[in-house]
C-alpha cells in the first residue's frame, strides 16, 4: 500500500502530472522537457527524480544524456498509465505541451535527416552490392514468425528498422546500439511509425544492458561483420533469450570485397554456415534454418537458432579445428 500511496503523492502535483503525460508520448531528455514546460532545469530534474523514485517513470542513461519514459515494469506503472488516460484530451495545459512536443519531434527529425544526408552516399553504395532490403526483411519474417515474436531485442539496431518491421507484432521491443547518432535516427523512425511499445538504448553488444533470459526473440541484422569477436556477440544474444526463444542473424556469406574493410570499417568479410553453426552451439543454441539470398557480388545469409526449453537436451558443442 505504501508504494501506491507514494505514487499517488508523486503524481498529485501539476508539473509532475504534465511530465508524466509527456513521457507517456515519447522518450525525452531533461533539456527537451525543460524546453516544453518553460521551467528551469533544476526544477524539472527534481520533479523527474520524484517520479522515478515513485516508479512512475523509467530513466535510461545514454552517455552524458538521460532519457525518461513511462515506466513499464515498475510497481506503479499501471497507476501512471491510468492517470494519464484520465486527463481530458482538450485540457489546455496538455494541449499546449503536446504542441511543443511536436516541435521537439520536428527538430529531432530534421537532425536525423541531416545525418542521413551526410551519410547517404556511403549507405547507397553499400546497398548496391547485395539484394534489396525488402527481400531480406521478408526472409527474416519467414524465419521469425510475427505471431511468435513476444518480447524482442534487436542488437545493433542502427536506424531501428528491425523494430519497425516487428514492432506491431511484439509485446515490447528494445533496440541496442553504441551510436548516439543512430539512436536519434531510430527514435524518429519509431515515432513516425507510432510504435510506443518500442524503445532504444545506448549499449555495448558485448555487454548488453539487459537481464539474462528477458527476451523471447533476438535479431542481429547486418551487425556481426563489424564485430572483433562475433562469437561473443552470439553468446550475449543467447544470454538474453528465454528458454525456447529464437535468434535470427542476417549477415554476409564469405566474399572478397576488400574495399569494405577500408571504406566501410568491416572487420569480417562474411561468415560461413559452419562457422555460425559452431558459434551457435557453443552458446548452447540449436541451429535451425539457413537461407541464402544471392546478390552481386554479396550474398546475404540468414541463420536461425533456438534456445532449448528447460526440459530439452542441451546442444552438443563443436569446436572448430
Series of mean pLDDT values for 10-residue runs along the chain (321 residues): 81 92 90 93 94 90 78 80 88 91 85 66 68 91 92 94 95 93 89 93 93 97 88 96 96 89 81 92 94 92 93 49 28
Count of Cβ atoms closer than 10 Å to residue 235 Cβ: 17
Cell numbers at residue 196, please? 510506443
Residues of 7-32 as b/e, b for ≥16 C-beta within 10 angstroms? beebbeeebbbbbbbbbbbbbbebeb
Q: What is the pLDDT of residue 220?
A: 97
Return d(Cα 13, Cα 149) in angstroms, integer: 39
Cα-only R_g, the chain: 21
Cα 6–chain centre separation? 31
pLDDT at position 318 is: 39
At residue 127, the pLDDT reads 66
Q: What pLDDT does residue 75 have?
A: 74
The residue extents of the domains of the chain are 2-101, 129-306
List the beta bridge partners of residue 59. Answer: 68
For the chain, the straight-line distance linking the first and the last C-alpha, in angstroms and rounded, comes to 60
Q: Give the model's pLDDT for residue 65.
A: 75
Give the architecture (CATH level 2) of 129-306.
3-Layer(aba) Sandwich (3.40)
Measured CA to CA in angstroms, residue 276 lies from 59, 83, 256 at distances of 36, 48, 18
pLDDT reported for residue 229: 82
Asked if CATH classification 3.40.50.740 holds for the domain at 2-101, the reply, yes or no, is no
Amino acid at each position: 500500500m505504501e508504494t501506491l500511496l507514494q505514487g499517488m503523492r508523486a503524481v498529485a502535483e501539476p508539473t509532475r502530472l504534465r511530465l508524466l503525460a509527456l513521457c507517456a508520448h515519447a522518450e525525452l531528455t531533461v533539456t527537451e522537457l525543460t524546453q516544453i514546460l518553460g521551467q528551469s532545469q533544476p526544477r524539472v530534474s527534481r520533479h523527474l527524480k520524484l517520479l522515478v523514485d515513485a516508479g512512475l517513470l523509467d530513466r535510461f542513461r545514454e552517455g552524458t544524456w538521460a532519457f525518461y519514459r513511462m515506466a513499464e515494469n515498475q510497481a506503479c506503472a499501471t497507476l501512471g498509465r491510468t492517470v494519464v488516460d484520465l486527463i481530458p484530451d482538450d485540457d489546455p495545459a496538455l494541449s499546449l505541451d503536446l504542441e511543443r512536443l511536436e516541435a521537439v519531434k520536428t527538430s529531432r527529425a530534421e537532425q536525423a535527416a541531416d545525418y542521413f544526408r551526410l551519410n547517404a552516399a556511403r549507405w547507397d553504395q553499400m546497398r548496391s552490392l547485395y539484394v534489396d532490403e525488402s527481400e531480406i526483411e521478408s526472409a527474416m519474417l519467414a524465419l521469425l514468425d510475427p505471431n511468435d515474436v513476444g518480447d524482442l531485442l534487436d542488437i545493433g539496431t542502427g536506424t531501428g528498422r528491425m523494430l519497425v518491421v516487428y514492432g506491431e507484432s511484439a509485446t515490447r521491443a528494445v533496440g541496442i546500439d553504441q551510436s548516439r547518432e543512430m539512436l536519434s535516427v531510430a527514435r524518429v523512425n519509431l515515432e513516425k511509425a507510432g510504435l510506443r511499445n518500442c524503445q532504444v538504448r545506448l549499449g555495448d553488444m558485448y555487454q548488453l544492458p539487459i537481464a539474462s533470459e528477458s527476451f523471447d526473440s533476438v535479431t542481429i541484422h547486418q551487425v556481426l561483420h563489424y564485430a572483433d569477436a562475433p562469437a561473443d556477440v552470439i553468446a550475449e544474444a543467447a544470454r538474453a533469450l528465454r528458454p525456447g526463444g529464437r535468434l535470427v542473424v542476417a549477415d554476409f556469406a564469405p566474399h572478397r570485397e576488400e574495399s569494405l574493410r577500408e571504406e566501410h570499417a568491416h572487420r569480417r568479410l562474411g561468415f560461413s554456415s559452419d562457422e555460425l553453426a559452431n558459434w551457435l552451439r557453443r552458446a548452447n543454441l540449436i541451429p535451425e534454418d539457413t537461407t541464402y539470398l544471392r546478390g552481386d557480388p554479396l550474398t546475404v545469409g540468414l541463420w536461425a537458432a533456438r534456445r532449448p526449453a528447460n526440459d530439452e537436451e542441451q546442444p552438443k558443442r563443436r569446436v572448430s579445428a
